[in-house]
Amino acid sequence: MKKKVAFITFSTSALYTDRKFYLDLVTLLEKKYLLQIKHRWFEYQKNIPTDAIYIKSLQAIRDADLFFAEISHSSTGVGLQIYYALQQKKPIILLL
């Protein structure tokens, strides 16, 4: 069975608060649903320019079969990515 390509997003401030939880979430989604997360933006170091991450994220959303967003923390960036995924007609799964 071919793995589906997925994009996953969550609040950066939430990631800094509870990094282990979010990395475990990614691992769970990958294993349980046989997903391939190509753009692993959450593993970048802080010194990567945000505009470079943004451009790669948009490309990753275009390339993805599925879009996941963890939305328990408010984030303008996550909201914009959800909006873009809607424009691209991607199946969207919101996680709380």
Q: Are 6 and 35 in contact (CB under 8 A)?
A: yes
Residue type, 84: Y
CA distance 60 to 74: 22
Q: What is the pLDDT along the chain (96 residues), one digit of tens a residue?
A: 788 999 999 988 888 888 899 899 999 999 999 999 988 888 876 677 878 888 999 999 999 999 999 999 999 999 999 999 999 999 999 998
pTM of the model: 0.89
Cβ-contact 11, 78 below 8 angstroms = yes
What do you get for the CA distance between the two ends of the chain, in Å?
28
